[in-house]
Structure 1
């Protein structure tokens, strides 16, 4: 199963590069990108999971309705994107359930940072997908963690997909920077080995990020954003469908693995 997921959040990433961005602009940019994603998913009639912060959800009630009413899954990405306290785990779950009218069963920590699994269980989540089981200098050092799903503290852990053997990450930055043919080869290899694929993206990738003075992003972040990102994702989904890979939400995936 293809687990497409999108971390929809207030667009605060420019702060990491020493740039200021108004809150209204953070919401507007992520809103535009979320609409582009939903339009693509509608076009291809595939379902995905949206990990949303409460801060963003409160500012896009119409899109929260669109996500849930069109059969996508809403999950928690925390209360705020750049602030975390353990109590936010339960608070974000309850608030997103209030805003959406849907049960929230999954969690992904902002920036895929570590999170206490006991706290995840106490907050009532079924699954956690906050692990990138690879090595990236200054960000992740997770070669000791399973590449594929496992259970810890009674919570199902579903790491982001990395290739077999060398554990090359298949997340958003790889998608931007690799030739599409190579990315597809890695996807095929990983899917054949694991029988599922868990890859994640963000709404702001689907907007134009080329203004270095405004955002401060290096070339490897800016590459293939905006219209190019929409075209590449359109191509990827079309190719996956041509391979007869099934798409589903994390909740769909959990149903299939627990039924075995």
Structure 2
């Protein structure tokens, strides 16, 4: 099963590169990208999981309704994207349930940072997908963690997909920077080995990020964004459909596991 997911959040990434961006623009850019994603998924009849911050959800009630009513899964990405306290785990779950009318069973930490699994369990989540089991300079070194799903402190862990052996990550940055043919080869190798793929993206990737003065992003971040990202995502989904890879939400996937 292909677990396609999107971290929908206030677009605060320019702050990491020394640029200022208004809260209104953060919401507007992420909202535009989320609309584009939903249109693509509708066109290809694909179900996905949306990990959403409460801050963003409160500003897009129409999109939260569309996400849940069209069969996608809503999960928690925290209360705020750039601020975390342990109490946000439960607070975000309860608020997203209030806003959506759906049970929230999954969590993904902002920027895939470490989070206390005991706190995840205490907040009532079924699964956590906050681990990228590879090495990313300046971010994390997770070579010692299982590539595939496992249980820790009574919480199901579903790490982001990385290739067998060399653990090459298949997350959003790889998708932007690798030739599409090489990305497909790595994805196919990983799918055959693991029987599933867990790959994630963000709504702002589907908007044009080439304005360096505005966003400050290096070339490897802004490469293949906007229209090029839309084209690449459609090409990836079409290729996966041609190979008969089924798509599903994390909740769908968990039902197939023997835990």
TM range (shorter): over 0.9
For residue 63 of structure 2, what is the aligned residue in structure 1?
63
CA distance in 1, matches of 2:75, 2:48: 11
For residue 28 of structure 1, what is the aligned residue in structure 2?
28
For residue 53 of structure 1, what is the aligned residue in structure 2?
53
For residue 224 of structure 2, what is the aligned residue in structure 1?
224
CA distance in 2, matches of 1:258, 1:94: 28
Tell me the SS of whatever aligns to 2:200. Answer: strand
For residue 188 of structure 1, what is the aligned residue in structure 2?
188
- TM superposition shift of 1:140: 1.5
| Cα deviations by residue, 1:123-155 (Å, 9 ceiling, x for unpaired) | 000000000000011111000000000000000
Correspondence list, 1:154-193, <5 A: 154-193=154-193
CA distance in 1, matches of 2:72, 2:43: 14
CA distance in 1, matches of 2:219, 2:251: 35
Tell me the SS of whatever aligns to 2:81. Answer: coil
CA distance in 1, matches of 2:199, 2:174: 10
For residue 83 of structure 1, what is the aligned residue in structure 2?
83
- TM superposition shift of 1:170: 0.2
CA distance in 2, matches of 1:200, 1:162: 12
For residue 126 of structure 1, what is the aligned residue in structure 2?
126
CA distance in 2, matches of 1:91, 1:162: 31
- TM superposition shift of 1:258: 3.3
CA distance in 1, matches of 2:59, 2:72: 19
- In structure 1, runs of 5+ residues without a counterpart are none
- TM superposition shift of 1:166: 0.2
Tell me the SS of whatever aligns to 2:58. Answer: helix
| Cα deviations by residue, 1:204-229 (Å, 9 ceiling, x for unpaired) | 00000000000000000000000000
For residue 4 of structure 2, what is the aligned residue in structure 1?
4
For residue 236 of structure 2, what is the aligned residue in structure 1?
236
- TM superposition shift of 1:51: 0.0
- TM-score, scaled relative to structure 2: 1.00
Segments of 4+ in structure 1 off by > 4 A?
none
For residue 44 of structure 2, what is the aligned residue in structure 1?
44
- In structure 2, runs of 5+ residues without a counterpart are none
RMSD: 0.6
CA distance in 2, matches of 1:162, 1:55: 30
- TM-score, scaled relative to structure 1: 0.99
CA distance in 2, matches of 1:44, 1:29: 23
